[in-house]
Chain A
Amino acid sequence: MSSQARKRVVTVSQREGKKLFYLSMPFILLVFVFSYLPLYGWIYAFFDYKPGYKLFDTEFKGFFFFKMLLSDPMTVDEVKRVMSNTLGMSVLSLFVQILPLIFAVFLVEIKFEPLKKAVQTITTLPNFLSWPLVYAFAFSMFSESDGFINKFLMHLHIIEEPISLLVSSDHVWLTQTAYLAWKTIGWTAIIYIAAVTSIDNELYEAARIDGAGRFRIMRYITIPHLMPTFFVLMLLSVANFLNNGLEQYLIFQNALNKDSIEVLDLYVYNIGIRNGMSGYNYSFATAVGILKSVVSVALLFSVNYASKRVRGEGII
Chain B
Amino acid sequence: MKQKVTIGNLSFSVINSSIFILFAIICIFPLYYIFVLTLSNNQWAASGALVLYPKGFHIENYVQVLKLNGIGMALGVSALKTVVGTAFTLAGSSFLAYLFTKPNMFMKKFLYRFVIVTMYFNAGLIPWYINMKNLHLMNTFAVYIIPYIVAPFYVILIKTFIESIPKALEESAQIDGAGVFRIFWSILVPLSKPILATVAVFECVNQWNNLRDNLFLITDSRLNTLQFVLYKFMSEADALARKIMVDGGASLSASSFKLTPTAVSMTIAMVVILPIVCIYPFMQRYFTKGIMLGAVKG
Contacts and interface: CB of A to CB of B under 8 A. Distances in A.
Interface of A: 13-14, 16-21, 23-24, 27-28, 30-31, 33-42, 44, 106-107, 109-112, 115, 118-119, 121-126, 128-133, 135-141, 143-146, 148, 151-152, 154-155, 166-167, 182, 186, 190-191, 193-195, 214, 229, 232, 236, 239, 246-247, 250-251, 265, 268-269, 272-273, 282, 285-286, 289-290, 292-293, 296-297, 300, 313, 315-316
A125 B277 contact: yes
Interface centre among A136, A152, A155 (most CB of B within 10 A): A136
Nearest to A316: B120
A106 B16 contact: yes
Nearest to A12: B104
A110 B125 CA distance: 45
Given A141-B30, A194-B291, A123 B24 contact: yes
For chain A, what secondary structure do more than half of its interface residues adopt (helix, strand, loop), or is it mixed? helix
B244 to A, nearest CB: 10
Interface in B221-272: 227, 230-231, 234-235, 237-238, 241-242, 245, 262, 265-266, 269, 272
A59 B64 CA distance: 54
Given A107-B20, A130-B209, A143-B262, 12 more contacts: A19-B180, A20-B99, A24-B99, A109-B16, A124-B284, A130-B211, A132-B227, A140-B266, A141-B30, A194-B295, A289-B124, A296-B121
9 contacts: A23-B99, A30-B147, A42-B124, A42-B127, A119-B24, A140-B266, A145-B238, A148-B30, A313-B298
Contact of A119 (B20, B115, B209): B20
B17 A251 contact: no
A132 to B, nearest CB: 4
Contacts of B292: 191, 194
B104 A17 contact: yes
A76 to B, nearest CB: 20
B242 A33 contact: no
B241 A146 contact: yes
Interface of B: 9, 12-13, 16-17, 19-21, 23-24, 26-28, 30-31, 33-34, 37, 45-46, 48-50, 92, 95-96, 99-100, 102, 104-107, 111, 114-118, 120-131, 135, 146-147, 149-150, 180, 205, 208-212, 215-216, 227, 230-231, 234-235, 237-238, 241-242, 245, 262, 265-266, 269, 272-273, 276-277, 280-281, 284, 287-288, 291-292, 295, 298
Contact of A289 (B26, B27, B126, B215): B126
Contacts of A194: 288, 291-292, 295
A315 B127 CA distance: 27
A182 B28 CA distance: 11
A143 B238 contact: yes
B192 to A, nearest CB: 17
A260 B245 CA distance: 29
Given A118-B24, A136-B269, A286 B126 contact: yes
A42 B123 contact: yes
B51 to A, nearest CB: 8
A247 B212 contact: yes
A285 B123 CA distance: 12
Contacts of A27: 92, 95-96, 115, 149-150
Nearest to A16: B104
Nearest to A107: B20
Contacts of B241: 145-146
